[in-house]
Structure 1
Amino acid sequence: AERAVRELRATGETVARRDAAAVASLTPQESQIARLARDGLTNSEIGAQLFLSPHTVEWHLRKVYAKLGITSRRMLGTVL
């Protein structure tokens, strides 16, 4: 990981570190949706479990990604 950070910095990119504070900033709803997404459920499946529309699940996931500094649901496993 440190090597990747050095190589990214050498190209001029910045690297944001994720910490426990970012995960702690998630609301209970966002945390629950993030855990379900991490476990492989689709937005429709998450919505059915939580009585939300798939669009609402997508909206919450976008907020989760922004708070955690990630770009996809595949990255949830490394952060949560």
Structure 2
Amino acid sequence: MGMDAFSRRAERELSATGETVRKHTVETGSQLTVQEAQVARLVREGLTNPEIATRLFISPRTVEYHLHKIFGKLGITSRKQLRR
């Protein structure tokens, strides 16, 4: 299918940005990704989903997705809890 070539290209592009690929393990499963941490920080600053989406060049729906993942990883259920 050509996935090996795609994988190598993605790895080169990530390397060029200084990022690395996180290995998914039991230990990293509860850690926030870089994108999730950015969303969480902007929520704590009081921004709305559309404002966060604009800042991060993603859709508001993607912000909602990240918030869902953040809430699960942190064991919380609201933006209010995240601000604390």
Structure 2: which amino acid aligns with 1:36?
Answer: L
Paired position in structure 2 for 1:13: none
Paired position in structure 2 for 1:10: none
1:36 equivalent to 2:42? Answer yes
| Alignment RMSD (CA, Å) | 1.8
Structure 1 residue matching 2:68: 3-state secondary structure: helix
Count of aligned pairs between the two proteins = 57
Paired position in structure 2 for 1:70: 76
CA–CA distance in structure 1, aligned partners of residues 32 and 45 of structure 2: 17
Identity between Structure 1 and Structure 2 (%) = 58
Larger RCO of the pair (alpha carbons < 8 Å, separation 6+)? 1
1:45 equivalent to 2:51? Answer yes
The answer to whether the 8 Å contact 2:49/2:60 transfers is: yes
TM-score for both structures, normalised by structure 1: 0.66
CA–CA distance in structure 2, aligned partners of residues 57 and 74 of structure 1: 16
- Structure 1 segments, 4+ long, off by >2 Å, are none
Give the 5 Å matches for 1:19-30.
25-30=31-36
Paired position in structure 2 for 1:6: none
TM-score for both structures, normalised by structure 2: 0.63
CA–CA distance in structure 1, aligned partners of residues 51 and 83 of structure 2: 18
The answer to whether the 8 Å contact 2:32/2:70 transfers is: yes
Unaligned runs of 5+ in 2: 1-26
The answer to whether the 8 Å contact 2:44/2:82 transfers is: yes
